Structure formats: C-alpha cells, structure tokens
Amino acid sequence: MDPPSTIVCVDCGGTCHLLSYAPDEGFEPGDIVAYRCEDCLDRWDVEMADDDPGAPDGHRS
C-alpha cells in the first residue's frame, strides 16, 4: 500500500507533498504519513487507511 505523493491542503486548497519515507516492509494500515503544503507550509499527519474497511478485524482481503 502506497500513500499518494500529493494531497489537497484542507486549510488553503494548495498541494501538500509527502514527507515520509516508506519503511523497508512498506506502509501498512494504521501507519502515519506526513505531508507539507507548498503554499501555507502547514504539516498534515495522516493515518493510512485499510484498503478494505469491511474486512473483519481490519485485515485486508
């Protein structure tokens, strides 16, 4: 599972770029990734979501 390289800033609508490096084992649900907005410089820490939120016990199918 890979986080998007950019997201939209909730505060100003600008583009936030991924700051976090992927761990050797890759990202998993529950991991926190950081983004920084190029316009307002706000930092956003986002929890990686499960690909299949309907899976029992949060496991992906």
1, part of any domain: no
61, part of any domain: no
The pLDDT of residue 51 is above 80: no
60, part of any domain: no
Looking at residue 21, what DSSP letter applies?
P
pLDDT band at 26 (very low <50, low <70, confident <90, very high): very high
Amino acid at 30: G
* pTM of the predicted structure, to 2 decimals: 0.78
Average pLDDT along the chain: 87
> What's the number of domains the chain is made of?
1
10, part of any domain: yes
Of the listed ranges 10-19, 29-38, 43-52, the one predicted with least confidence? 43-52
Q: What does the pLDDT read at residue 56?
A: 56
Q: Given the DSSP bridges, would you call strands 15-18 and 32-37 parallel, antiparallel or unpaired?
A: antiparallel
Range of the domain at 40: 6-54
Strand 43-47: give its sheet, edge to edge.
Answer: 6-8, 15-18, 32-37, 43-47
Sequence-ordered list of residues with C-beta below 8 angstroms from that of 35, at least 6 positions apart, any chain: 6, 7, 16, 17, 18, 19, 43, 44, 45, 46
Q: What does the pLDDT read at residue 61?
A: 44
